[in-house]
Amino acid sequence: MSGPVTGSRPSGRFWYWLALSGCVFGGSSTGFAAKELRVKVLPETPLPYVTTVTAPLARHVAVSEPAKMMVIGHRPKHPVHLSFYRLDDQGLVIAGEPVSIMLPKPAALVSNPNWALGILCHPHLPLVYVWQDVEPLTGNLPVEGPSVAEFDHLLIYSLAEPEPKLLLATARGPEYASGNLVGGFALNAAATRLYVPSMQQFDVATKKFVTGVGWLVLDPDGLPPFDSVDAPVEVSLAAAPAVPTPDAATATAAQAAKMAAIEAGKAAGKPLTPRRYLETAWTFSVQPSPYCYAPLNDDIVFAASHSGPTYWILTDRLGRFGYHYVQPYVPFRYRVTAHPTAPSVYVTPVIYDGRMMRIEHADGYFTLVPQTLLLDNIVYHSTPILLTKTNQLVVGANGRICLIDLEADGRFKAAAVQMTVNNPTVEGIAWSEKFGRLFVPVEKLP
């Protein structure tokens, strides 16, 4: 099956093979002659929309606009896992100590450290999704024995009350790998798919687990529907129809009914499992799988694997996955972001230097040679975030955040500024469209 076609325009696969033929047979293109852009000095520029908050050892940041709350996920060495900060109507942090919690784990793993691998907030409901992981029992092997049946990777908290309340703990069992420090975690625009990390499936032929990518289905109430553990893994690939977000009372009632059904299944010895889609591919040959997701829409999903950026086109039955090796080749460090309107995918190697690559795509298929931007004396630590109103990329780096200007088609301009912050490794940043603010954790305020 060919790639999607818009009008009479050739499909993305056409452009992919055209670009490849240029490489093989000596064809020329301005794309292949792209020069590296370099910014030697980044002007120091105060950014009035940046909100800094004291949150030592912060790795993840998420903002719940419905609950007016910011959630920080800390690194494993921090004494707590999550910290919750209340925001006022302008998105400023309300003075006072945050509410801090530890993530639950079974008694069998009491001596094994666990941590938050990713944090996401529902765009319309006061819910936060947390994907957690745990240190393996032995070496680098997945957690085995009775503990694997009890460890819940997905935790869903309600933020409707003064303190976060755990609504649901799920996603347990051998189909989710353990022992990962990073992993992709993303919501689609309609909040009907929760793309999750560390999925895997046992291959009978090789007697090994094969890594995969996929998602958990989400209902309008923000919780996944549940099926019997014997139900097939596959679900419809079609985009879920747009459903209005229920009001608070309706959502709460639906959530309560769903949780009651889960408990009834446990009591009857017929446990339920969240409805999910899992697709295995040798493209993601080792865990973590993937390092990050960047869904463009419900058909085209970009991701970062251990060896580079990847496209995943669900309607293409022949070439669903494709790699694009980039320079510098820095295995296990790539992060990917997709421009929502321009045909551009941005690839950032973290803990390396200030190089960032922009790859053009046609209907999801990578084409031509990447454009490279180098910012001198910069080391990236976060996944870039696109600011749509200003058409700029913002990324956390060594002791600063960097703001990169883009052309209308998504290409880099040789223009960037920086804002110094009191954090040697800015790993987590979050943008709120409602508040018009960028949230950046720091080790301490000046």
Take residue 340 and report the two structure tokens written for it.
Answer: 């929502």
Whether residue 378 is contained in a domain is answered as no
Question: How many percent of the chain have pLDDT more than 70?
Answer: 88
Q: Match 């973590």 to its residue by tokens.
A: 288
pLDDT digits (tens, 9 = 90+) for 300-348: 999 999 889 999 999 998 888 998 888 888 989 999 999 999 999 999 9
Top-confidence residue, 35 or 411: 411
Whether residue 102 is contained in a domain is answered as yes
Q: Which domain holds residue 224?
A: 12-39+46-373+431-442
Q: Which of 422, 429, 424 is nearest to 445 (CA)?
A: 422
Top-confidence residue, 236 or 156: 156
pLDDT digits (tens, 9 = 90+) for 255-296: 999 999 888 888 888 888 899 999 887 788 888 999 999 999
pLDDT at 235: 73
Mean pLDDT value across residues 377-396:
95
3-state secondary structure of 305: strand
pLDDT at 228: 85
pLDDT digits (tens, 9 = 90+) for 40-57: 999 999 999 999 999 999
CATH (domain of 325): 2.130.10
Take residue 315 and report the two structure tokens written for it.
Answer: 């309607």
Take residue 198 and report the two structure tokens written for it.
Answer: 């560390």
Least confident of 10-19, 132-141, 241-250, 376-385: 10-19
Per-residue pLDDT band at 34 (split at 50, 70, 90): low
How many domains does the chain divide into? Answer: 1
pLDDT digits (tens, 9 = 90+) for 101-152: 999 998 888 888 999 999 999 999 999 999 999 987 554 444 444 456 689 9
Question: How many percent of the chain have pLDDT more than 90?
Answer: 65
Mean pLDDT value across residues 350-371:
93
pLDDT at 53: 94
Length of the chain (residues): 446
Take residue 13 and report the two structure tokens written for it.
Answer: 């696969």
Given phi > 0 = left and psi -120 to 50 = alpha, else beta, which region is 175? Answer: alpha
How far is residue 87 from each of residues 109, 122, 305, 434, measured CA to CA in Å? 35, 16, 35, 12
Q: Match 């804002």 to its residue by tokens.
A: 419
3-state secondary structure of 118: strand
Question: Which residues are 372's β-sheet partners?
Answer: 357
Instruction: Tell me the average pLDDT of the chain.
Output: 87
Q: Which secondary structure element, helix H or strand E, spans residue 155, and what is its range?
A: strand 154-158
**Dihedral of CA 132/138/139/141: which sign?**
negative
pLDDT at 19: 44
Residues 28, 19: contact at Cβ < 8 Å? Answer: no
**Dihedral of CA 380/383/387/393: which sign?**
positive
Please report, to the nearest 10 degrees, the dihedral formed by the alpha carbons of residues 337, 341, 344, 345 taken in order: 20
Q: Which of 231, 234, 232 is nearest to 214 (CA)?
A: 234
Whether residue 400 is contained in a domain is answered as no
pLDDT at 446: 67
pLDDT at 234: 65
Whether residue 222 is contained in a domain is answered as yes
Least confident of 1-10, 361-370, 413-422: 1-10
Whether residue 392 is contained in a domain is answered as no
pLDDT digits (tens, 9 = 90+) for 211-260: 999 999 999 999 999 988 877 776 777 777 777 888 888 999 999 999 99
pLDDT digits (tens, 9 = 90+) for 163-191: 999 999 999 888 898 889 999 999 999 99
Whether residue 407 is contained in a domain is answered as no
pLDDT at 10: 43
Mean pLDDT value across residues 150-163:
93
Task: Please tell me the distance from the alpha carbon of residue 428 to that of residue 337, in angstroms, as a whole number.
Answer: 14
How far is residue 359 from each of residues 309, 333, 339, measured CA to CA in Å? 9, 17, 11
Q: Which of 223, 218, 231, 229 is nearest to 259 (CA)?
A: 223
Whether residue 382 is contained in a domain is answered as no
Mean pLDDT value across residues 54-67:
96
Mean pLDDT value across residues 63-81:
95
Whether residue 106 is contained in a domain is answered as yes
